[in-house]
Amino acid sequence: MRPASAVFLFVILPALMGGTALAAEKPAAGIGKRLQDVERAIDQGKKKSQALKKQADALRAKLTGVNRKKVALAQDIQGLETEMNDLEREIAELNGAEEEKETLLASRRRQFAHLLAALQRLSRLPPEAVIAYPDRPANLVRAAILLRTTLPRVEGQAARLREDLIALDATRGQIAEQRAKLAAAAARIDDYRSDLEKAFRQTKAARRHTLAARQVEGARLKRLTEEAGSLRELFKKLESERRKRAALRKKTIENQKLKEKNTDHPLSLDPKSRVAAIASFEIRPISKARGRLAFPAVGTVKGRYGGAVRRGIRRKGLVVATRAEAQVVAPYDGKVVFAGTFRGYGLLLIIEHSEGYHSLLSGLARIDAIIGQSLLSGEPVGKMGNLGAGREQLYVELRQNGTPINPMPWMTAQKGKVRR
């Protein structure tokens, strides 16, 4: 039996095994209620899936908006980088100009110093020195005149150089101020970029989580839809069987009345009692048979009660690996309340025992019992298939008042029949 089949059967068995009334007049009542619950869950799941889709779409739009902001931010950053490059280039040019002017100013200072020194030397010459060199007075006068005319020009050049240096310092200060502003803007942009990256990561993670939740919800909807389809099929089968039994009961009563009318010795029981007596036999109390129930088939227990089927779901019965075409028998006296196929789940046989107990057999390839048939313990009810490679598996479940219980303590330990 496939795990998916077992999971589905765990869901529908409480409805099927609600009590003897299900096997009698209202076999579809529990299934109908379960079907309503499943359809209601499907509607709610569809609404949740739509809400998740809207949420995912909104997050995708938000991601697109964040990406657009990142594009605009990248353009702003590139603009700032261009301005920074221009400033760096301007500063480099100013540094060169400053060095050139400093060199020129130093040269002018040296010239000025030489001129001053020459003038001072001339001013210190006494008249006697001039008279002692009669060929030089004219030259000395010319030199003095030249020095005195050159000195103001040198002083003017030095003053202009000083002014240029002052202007350079002012420009350098403005550039430093502008650079500080650009640095502050770059820091703000870095912070903004960090915020955008954080928002992008969070939004992306939220969308990924939403899409995952929608995928999980979609898988759940798929399972519910499959279950609803199987429940509808089961509901239809049970209703059909109920109508058949009702028609058979009516015909049996009519035939019995006709027989009584045509006989000289009518039965002492009323028609309904006589039909019940004919259709039933005494079912022994199952509580006294604990440890002596017939194992439904020869094989090896591959899956035990309580074992994990999938996350969050535990096995409610036994999985027995059997031989190909193995004989399957009723574990105890009882009456067949369901015998048939489910879409995608194979053949299913449910036997009602006494005292609120039911047994379930699934995975058969053939069922030889019909609904309403009374069975004795060990009576053949069907056969397994012939899939080969040891793939034949019979699922066995025992329930008390609709609640699964461990079948192993109830089964007989017949040597060589079942390996535990």
DSSP string, 234-294: HHHHHHHHHHHHHHHHHHHHHHHHHHHHT-SS--SS-HHHHHHHHH--PPPPGGGGTT-BP
pLDDT band at 15 (very low <50, low <70, confident <90, very high): low
| Cβ 377 vs Cβ 327: under 8 Å | no
pLDDT beyond 80 at 145: no
**Strand 380-383 versus strand 313-314 pairing type:** unpaired
pLDDT beyond 70 at 171: yes
pLDDT of residue 359: 93
pLDDT beyond 80 at 267: no
**Cα 331 from Cα 361, distance rounded (Å):** 10
pLDDT beyond 90 at 408: yes
pLDDT of residue 123: 60
- Region of poorest pLDDT, from 54-58, 257-261, 345-349, 364-368: 257-261
**Across 269-276, average pLDDT:** 41
- For residue 333, how many other CB atoms are within 10 A of its CB? 21
Residue whose entry in the numeric block shows the structure tokens 């310092």:
169
User: Of the spans 232-246, 288-302, 311-325, which averages the highest pLDDT?
Assistant: 288-302
**Strand 334-342 versus strand 346-352 pairing type:** antiparallel
**Across 347-359, average pLDDT:** 91
Residue-averaged pLDDT of the chain: 77
**Cα 355 from Cα 378, distance rounded (Å):** 19
Nearest to 161, CA basis, from 234, 100, 242: 100
Distances (CA, A) of 163 to 43, 110, 176: 87, 18, 20
Nearest to 31, CA basis, from 335, 337, 366: 337
pLDDT band at 293 (very low <50, low <70, confident <90, very high): very high
Per the DSSP assignment, residues forming a β-bridge with 348 are 340, 362
| DSSP SS3 for 136 | coil
- For residue 329, how many other CB atoms are within 10 A of its CB? 19
pLDDT of residue 266: 42
Q: 302 φ, ψ to 5°?
A: -100, -25
**Cα 294 from Cα 226, distance rounded (Å):** 34
Counted residue by residue, the chain has a size of 420
Q: Is the dihedral of CA 248, 249, 254, 259 positive or negative?
A: positive
| DSSP SS3 for 192 | helix
**Cα 61 from Cα 68, distance rounded (Å):** 11
The C-alpha R_g of the chain, in whole angstroms, comes to 53
pLDDT band at 146 (very low <50, low <70, confident <90, very high): low
* Percent of the chain residues topping a pLDDT of 70: 73
Distances (CA, A) of 248 to 10, 266, 279: 32, 21, 11
E strand or H helix that includes residue 3? helix 3-16
**Per-position DSSP letters for 32-43, written without gaps between them:** HHHHHHHHHHHH
Q: Phi/psi zone of residue 388: left (φ > 0), alpha (ψ -120 to 50 degrees), beta? A: left
* Percent of the chain residues topping a pLDDT of 90: 18
pLDDT beyond 60 at 279: no
pLDDT beyond 50 at 274: no
